[in-house]
Structure formats: C-alpha cells, structure tokens
Structure 1
Amino acid sequence: MGLLTIGAFAKASRLSPKALRLYDELGLLPPAHVDPVTGYRRYAPDQVERARLVAWLRRLGMPLVRIRHVCSLDARDAAQEIRSFWARAEADFAARRDLVAFLVGHLEREDPAVTTTASPLSIRYAAGSDVGLVREANQDTAYAGSRLLAVADGCGDGGARASAAAVEALKYLETDGIPAGGLLDVLADAVEQAEQAVDGAARAGSAAEGTGTTLTAMLWTGSQLALVHIGDCRVYLLRDGELFRITHDHTVVQTMIDEGRISPEEAASHPQRSMLVRALGSGADATADLRLHDAGDGDRYLLCSDGLPTVVPDGEIQQVLTDAPEPERAVRELVALANGAGGPDNVSCVVADVVAGA
C-alpha cells in the first residue's frame, strides 16, 4: 500500500486534518512525506496505529507533551505511564468531588427552608504528644479545643517551630464566628495564614531551607466537622463500631500506590515512605484537601501524626478507640501503643467524641 493522503489518513486514524497538522507542528506525528512544492502531507499506513493511540490518549485528556512521551516508550512502559496518568486523574477528580460535596452540604444547611429538629451536639476532646523513644526532639504539635482540633508534624531543622506556628495560626477559629455562607472561605484563609506563619517560622531559624510541616485540622460547627488536610497526618472516624480512614496521605509512596507502581505492603518498607508531596513550607505544594463531615451522636474522631499508624496496625487503633471510655484515656493508650512498638517517631493524637447535648 502506498502513502495515504491527509484526508484518507484522517479517516483511518479518526483524527481531523486540523489535528494532524497541529501534531505535525509539535513533532508528535510528522507525516512520512511532505511535497516540497505544494507542502501536501502524506502518511505511511504503519503510522495509523500510532495516530489512533494519540487519538485515544487525547480522549482521556492527556496533555500533548505527555502523549509525546508515551509514544516514545515500548508497549509495557507506555501502559504503565497511562496507568499512572489515569490514577492521578482519578485522584484529582476525587478531590473535586469532595469539594462539590462540601459546597452542596454547606449551602443546603444555609438554606432557610431547611429546618433541623435533631438534638444539639457537642464534642468532648483530648490531645497528647510524645517525643517517642528514638528522636531527640518533638517536632509534632497537637491541639484540642471546643471548636478546633489539630495535629501538625514538622520537618527540617525548624520543624518544631513550623508545626507550632501552623497550629497557632488556626487558634483564632476558636473564638471568631463563621459568617453565613463563608465556611469554605474561612478554611481557605486559615490555610493561607498557616502557610504564612510557617514561612515566618522558617525564616526566623538558622536553617530555613527544608523547614515545613504537615497540618491536619477539623473545625467544629455545631453539627459538622470541616476538615483541612495537608501531608501525612491522618483522621480516622469510629462510627457504629467500624473504623474509617477519612484522609489521604500526600506522600510519594501513596502516589506510587495510587498509580499501581507498588503495593501497600511494599510501601511499609519503602525508603521514600516519609517523603511528602504536599506540605506547608519546604517548597512543597500547599494545596489542602477540604471536606465537610456530618457528625452523629456517638462518633469518635482520631487525628494523629504518622508516628502512630506507621507502627500500630489499624486493628489495634480500632480496639483502643472502641474500648477507651474517655478521650483522655484513648490518647494515652494510643501513645503507649506507638512507644510499645519501638517509638521510632514522635507521636501525637487528638481524640474527640461527638455527644448529644450542649
């Protein structure tokens, strides 16, 4: 079979002539021959398969630069690259889905036509932090108040200052009211203020480079808990005897799990398991996950630094949260579990119970 005209090739590849001209200009899909006089493009039949791959990847929403990279790989590596791209796309979609749910839930509660007849709720809480058995200093900060629950895990030489500054920057939420319809703006402003505080703490130290912190906080609104999450601290919910993890780690290893490159079992011993892709300071992405959780009487929330789940299985965490009658006791027992498992890292916990009554 001879060379195909651009029209015939467009039909065979399911790409428009306009797209083919663009991909030629970008070096993504150059024609086999270009007439030096007329500039008319002709394509070889064996280019159809590559062109169809480009068309399918464009339907997935893959950027042209990444498509060029995929097309340069062998079949196995190309498949892995596509898998990685789609895992990231699904994660981004999930984040937008959470934001949509946040907005819808908050706006519905602001609707004057919606009335609430449920009994008023409040929270009982406790916080604790321990240096562990290996580290010389504690870079964690834990805080629990009548409205704000927060855990931060600092990194770098100024990590302790950074985590303390991030939590301190949020404490105004304890006393300031939330304007009608303004919860999302309040949380966004809080993250911005925390980021500025961390930057200030880093500059105040002798080793600003690499100084940063994670931040995971929940703001009690009276019937809901609004979540702000950056990094690898975690939030668990114990509801009706079942334990649910409601945060997603922002780490290199978690990204590799999401993309199918490694298994959760392999992640436990991976040398990059503590490397963050999102944090406040340290030059990382500071984009926060924001979610809104309807609270129910009997719910128990746990916020913890990674020093707990790194060494204590979820089943043991669930057992303590189920059996401990008061938040204070749950915090003590969880810290003791981490230290009993070697205490290789600082460990911080905040436990909050949702109870009926003001």
Structure 2
Amino acid sequence: MPELLTIGVFARAARLSPKALRLYDDLGLLRPAQVDDDSGYRLYAPEQLDQARLIAWLRRLGMPLERIRQIGELPTPEQAAQIGAYWEQVLAETAERGRLATFLVDYLSGRGSAMGTLGIRYAARSETGPVRDSNEDTAYAGPRLMAVADGMRGPGGDRASAAAVDALKTLETATVAADDLLGSLAEAVRAAARSVGEIDGDTATTLTALYWSGSRLALVHIGDTRAYRLRDGELSLITVDHTYVRSLVEQGRLTEAEAAVHPQRSLLVKALTGTGDETPDLSLHEAAAGDRYLLCSDGLATTVPEPELRAVLAGPGDPRQILDDLFTRAYAAGAHDNVAAVVADVVPA
C-alpha cells in the first residue's frame, strides 16, 4: 500500500494550501484518506492528487465550490461536459459585461446614440395546445414590457410562470431612465425568483422578457423560451437556450440536426427556481423602426421551423394576425406542448 502523505506534503504536490485542504474536507470536496486518531492529522493517498489538482484548476477558473463538489461526483465524461457548459456561461457573462461597459463608456462620454422616440404595437397569447390538459405557459405584452414564461410541468408550474411575469409587471409603471433599464430589469427578475421560491413544492419556470424605453430594449433570459428579432427581412435568434443539449452543440459534440431529435433536448440547465442560484442572461439592444420581435415558448419554437417563422414574421399583418398565423401552423404541425408567444412591432411614435 502506498505511503500516505501528510497534509503539508500533499498540499505542495497539489499546489494547494493546507488551509484550503482543511476547508475542502469540511465541505466534503476532498476527504483525507485517513485521520490520525491521536493527533487528528489529516493524511492523503497519492492517488488523490488528481482530484486535488482538478479542484485547484476549477478554482482558478473561478468556479464556485458547490459546483465543484457536484462535478466531483460525476463520471469523467460528464465532468468534461459540465466544465464546458460552465465556461460557456462565463464567456457569455463576460461578453455581456463587456457590452455593458461599452454602453456605459459611450453614455457617460456623450458618444452614445440619441434616444429615438419609438413606440410598439403588440399582442400576446398563451394556450394549452392540442395535447396537454393544463397550461403552464404565461404570455404578457404591455406598453413597456413583453414576457413569456414556461413553468415546469406538474403541480405549481402554472403558478410559477404567472408569478414570474407578474413580478415584472411593476416595471410598466416604474420611472426608469433608459440608462438604468438593465439594472431595473435585473432587480425585477430577482423579485420574480423570490416569488417563484414562495410557491409550495419543487417548481421552476423559464423567463424571457424585453423591457422598453426610448429606443433601447433590455433583455432578460433564462431557460429555453426564446426571443427573435426580424430586422430588414433577416430573422435573428437573440437568446441562447439554457439546455443540456445546447451546451453539447456549443462544444461541438452534437450537430444541430442531432440536437433536434436528442431525447434530452428539453433538459434545462438553468431556470428560475427561487433558490438564489439563478444567473439569467441580461443584455441591452438598440431598437429601430420596422423591427419585429417574437418571444415564444418551446411549444412554438420547436414545432414551427425557423424558415417558416421568418416567412410569417416577414409577412403582412399586425401582431395579432401574426400570432393567429403562428398558432395555426403550430397546431397543424401537432404542437406537443403549451404554446405561448408575444409579437411586437417597433413603430415611430
């Protein structure tokens, strides 16, 4: 049997401090192989060095200890997938902070674009669909706020999606400057998460919402509800699904075609749960007259192909007529889930 290493020797080999090793023991991240009954000294086996080095590397990535603990319990291939998903999240959040920093620099230095005076015409719709017997989706559209939420299937899902959207509705009457859109929306989402957490039982919801002022839109997104923008005839998906399968696509481990039929394509890696661990995507967008926005749940997005979405959104009709067309197509394609959507047109005020 290999000789056990003292905590000092093991710490030097793993490039960790003895203090860190004691903390990891207390947290259950890395237990010593043996604790001396008389002295209380921690002793480690040489084969534990790989685990210790992995923890050290993940800490250098800035990964929270609780997430490291969860990854440590997984088989090696799943560890790789989870680390990849975490890093994609870090890159997305870093890019968003970069965009916010650019906006702040431009705004404070007077280089930002002037606030245009624009308005929106909108319509919202949420239906049970032809297959489900209950509706966990919520859709809302108002003069300044558009939102779609998809509650977890089962007891409490409908209340979770409704609670999340209701918490955002306070923004409709709030006095918020265009340069504070993102902060106000982020605070409202924290309130939404608390509302979801107050619901009895284990439930959660996705949430995608746009908050409007002048010519600027603040976007919040968590889960697999989606936001699209049609501009000059080109349809762009402006959210990224927070699903396990999407993380595999981003890592190059699945093609789009494989993802579309993957048995775990609906498995979420992020949602509003009320636990305080939520990290939604937040971003700022500049609107232009003629833009058309679509927010929708997966009951629409996974049923109507994107080229067909683009054709409908680019066609004639007001937002309510566009919704009628989209829902008709979703049902004709055999929508397997609830269907919720908001369509909003940007127009000169």
Deviation at 1:129, TM superposition (A): 1.3
Show the counterpart of 1:199. Answer: 197
How many percent identity over aligned positions? 47
Which among 112, 122, 127 is matched to residue 125 of structure 1? 122
The correspondence of residues 305-320 of structure 1 with structure 2, limited to 5 A, is: 305-320=297-312
The correspondence of residues 158-237 of structure 1 with structure 2, limited to 5 A, is: 158-179=156-177, 181-200=179-198, 202=199, 208-237=200-229
Does 2:15 correspond to 1:22?
A: yes
Task: Determine which structure has more spread, i.e. the larger CA radius of gyration.
Answer: 1
The CA distance in 1 between the partners of 2:238 and 2:212, in whole Å, is: 16
Secondary structure at the residue paired with 1:279? coil
Cα distance change, pair 254–180 in 1 and its aligned pair in 2 (3 A): closer
Cα distance change, pair 91–117 in 1 and its aligned pair in 2 (3 A): closer
- Structure 2 letter corresponding to 1:270: H
Contact 1:278 1:284 in 2 (8 A): no
Contact 1:151 1:349 in 2 (8 A): yes
Show the counterpart of 1:146. Answer: 143
The CA distance in 2 between the partners of 1:19 and 1:324, in whole Å, is: 69
Deviation at 1:280, TM superposition (A): 1.4
Contact 2:218 2:285 in 1 (8 A): yes
The CA distance in 1 between the partners of 2:142 and 2:168, in whole Å, is: 11
Show the counterpart of 1:11. Answer: none
Which among 233, 249, 252 is matched to residue 260 of structure 1? 252
The CA distance in 2 between the partners of 1:21 and 1:176, in whole Å, is: 53
TM-score by length of 1: 0.74
- Which runs of 5 or more structure 2 residues have no equivalent in the other structure? 1-10, 22-29, 31-49
Cα distance change, pair 181–343 in 1 and its aligned pair in 2 (3 A): closer
Secondary structure at the residue paired with 2:313? helix
Deviation at 1:322, TM superposition (A): 0.4
Which among 289, 293, 300 is matched to residue 301 of structure 1? 293
Contact 1:128 1:348 in 2 (8 A): yes
Could you report, residue by residue, the CA deviation over 1:45-81 in whole angstroms, capped at 9, with x for unpaired residues? xxxxx9xx99xx79x9598998xx99xx9xxx78x96
The CA distance in 2 between the partners of 1:284 and 1:125, in whole Å, is: 32
| Cα RMSD after superposing both structures | 3.7
- Structure 2 letter corresponding to 1:238: L
Which among 334, 344, 349 is matched to residue 352 of structure 1? 344
Deviation at 1:315, TM superposition (A): 0.4
Contact 2:303 2:333 in 1 (8 A): yes
The CA distance in 2 between the partners of 1:284 and 1:130, in whole Å, is: 30
**After the TM superposition, which of the residue ranges 252-261 and 122-131 deviates more from structure 2?**
252-261
**After the TM superposition, which of the residue ranges 160-169 and 85-94 deviates more from structure 2?**
85-94
The CA distance in 2 between the partners of 1:158 and 1:82, in whole Å, is: 34
Contact 2:157 2:203 in 1 (8 A): yes
The CA distance in 1 between the partners of 2:12 and 2:114, in whole Å, is: 58
- Structure 1 letter corresponding to 2:317: P
- Structure 2 letter corresponding to 1:22: R
- Structure 2 letter corresponding to 1:144: A
Aligned length: 309
